[in-house]
Structure 1
Amino acid sequence: MALYKDWCDDDGDEDGLKRYLALTEKEGGRAAVIDLLGETVRSHYERLDRIADDIDLLGYETAAAILRELLPTKPKMRAGDLGEVLASELAQEMLEFDVPVRRMRFKDGREVPMRGDDFIGVNFCSDDGGLWLLKGEAKSRRKLGKTTITEAREALKRDDGRCTPISLLFVASRLMDSDDEDQADLGRRIRNEVGKKALARNRIDHALFTLSGNGPIDALVEDYKAAEAGRNHAVVNLHIEDYDDFIADIYERAGDLGDD
């Protein structure tokens, strides 16, 4: 099942290298994907096969107790994490980038944010097979406004628009730890990029993803129109009217493993 395809309508726009996506829930869309949303969020904090092992060894109740220790409980942290989760899923489904490392699995505290770029996507150029990266910022607000959008855009511009070195090295190290040769090779290529900075600006796309209780947002449209030339940009808003209740429900579902 495609998450966004079944969940949302898109009233987007395109202008050259820039793309604006205004996502709103379809009638019945949330109901169609609600189980998938819970499982998707769960999978960003722990591998599903590891959860399955916990169930086999310890039973549903104890496995769920372990899982809930990984999930944030504070509304602000849940909102921030969910923005990054949904941004990563959108990058894979709609922007054609793989997000090879699920950062939430490596948090050193469930109520603390991760540092660095919010999400990094990977693709390859069809012409020469060279690396192509996506630098992403995700913001989640009950009422999204210009200040938050400006902060996100400034973060995208840092390091001359390149993915921040510490973020790239984090991704590279996780991939190089893999027993999968392809994953380890990708990690090596990303690590090389940190040292060489060889990628041209048109091979580092930018994405600004926003999750909000308000919409449409004029400042986001202005940001889309003003985005710098020379690279691909995606500017996205996912409007959820019952923002607080939605986030609370998704995390309750993520932590509920049922009993069968």
Structure 2
Amino acid sequence: MDLYKKWCNATKRKTKRKHYWIYVEKNGGREEIRDALAKTMRSHYDRLDRIAQDVERLGYKLAATILREQLPQTKKGRSGDLGEILATELVEEEIGLRVPVRRLRYKDGRNMAMRGDDFIGAGYGGDGHNDLWLLKGEAKSNKVLSNATVANARKVLNRDSGRCTPDSLAFVANRLLESNDAGDMALGRDLRDQVALKNVPASRIDHMLYTMSGNGPHASLEVDLEAAGANRDHYVVNLHIVDHQEFIEEMFEKAEDLGND
């Protein structure tokens, strides 16, 4: 789904390996993607075919109850989850790497934040087009984005020498190895090997700092990007949602509503 293309106007600036992307909603853009985004949100918490099976067995109302039990109910939980969902969709739409595991399906509790890297992108590239390529991502969603939030996100990205944390990498790898798909299993094996080998160079481990905020692109984002190293691709992103809190509430209400026909 070309979510961002339909929804937002984008301003993109690139200096060598540093990318600064700003997204602002188009007039009417939210209306165009609202239904599709709600469906996408559901898919991050459960497989859509399972939800359809619940509807077939139990009807829309009871199926919606099952889904609702998996979705966060606190403002903080919803804000954080939606930021992570939208970051994941951006990676797959604009960068071309997969975020192969929808990790929100594996939360210990619906209102609890998961530990580890917020999202990991993976794929293959390089001169031979068969070298493992990774992306380590941190997502922040705030009504008012601040210097402290940006600084903390960069600190997390720089942990483990800028590599994906071993526990996060192993989690993604193990979920892929549970698949019956040969491609998923091969990627899972390569990711699991990286927990020990750590031989993917920094030049093939991109970083993304994704922010969604009501106050738009805070000046600290450009300062952060300027200070970032030059040995990898850095993506610093802001999605400006003026009615940040209302948007989150609106979208979770839409995601919880499975309709009645």
TM-score relative to the length of structure 2: 0.98
Mapped to 1, the partners of 2:127 and 2:194 lie a distance apart of 19
Matches of residues 11-30 of structure 1 in structure 2 within 5 Å? 11-30=11-30
Distance 2:153 2:217 in 1: 18
Measured in 2, the distance between the counterparts of 1:57 and 1:2 equals: 32
**Cα distance in structure 2, aligned partners of 1:158 and 1:126:** 24
Any idea what SS the aligned residue of 1:259 has? Answer: coil
Q: In the alignment, what sits opposite 2:134?
A: 133
Tell whether 2:120 aligns with 1:120: yes
Correspondence list, 1:1-260, <5 A: 1-128=1-128, 129-260=130-261
Q: Distance in 2 between matches of 1:246 and 1:29?
A: 13
CA distance in 2, matches of 1:251, 1:119: 20
Deviations 1:75-97 (Å, cap 9, x if unpaired)? 01100011100000000001211
Deviation at 1:117, TM superposition (A): 0.3
Q: Which amino acid aligns with 1:40?
A: T
Instruction: Name the stretch that deviates more: 177-186 or 250-259.
Output: 177-186
Q: Distance in 1 between matches of 2:29 and 2:257?
A: 21
Q: State how many pairs are aligned.
A: 260
Q: Deviations over 1:209-237 (max 9, x none)?
A: 00101023101111112111110010000
Q: Partner of 2:235: helix, strand, or coil? A: strand
Cα deviation, residue 126, structure 1: 4.5
Structure 1 residue 46 displacement after superposition: 0.4
Deviations 1:173-220 (A, max 9, x none): 000011112111111110001110010110100000001010231011
Other structure's SS at 1:11 match:
strand
Tell me the SS of whatever aligns to 2:242.
Answer: coil
Letter of the 2:23 counterpart: L
Between the aligned partners of 1:216 and 1:159, the Cα distance in structure 2 is 27
**Alpha-carbon distance in structure 1 between the residues aligned to 2:36 and 2:114:** 24
Counterparts of 2:97 and 2:184 in 1: how far apart (Å)?
Answer: 15
TM-score normalised per structure 1? 0.99
Cα separation, 1, equivalents of 2:169 and 2:120:
8
2:229 partner amino acid: E
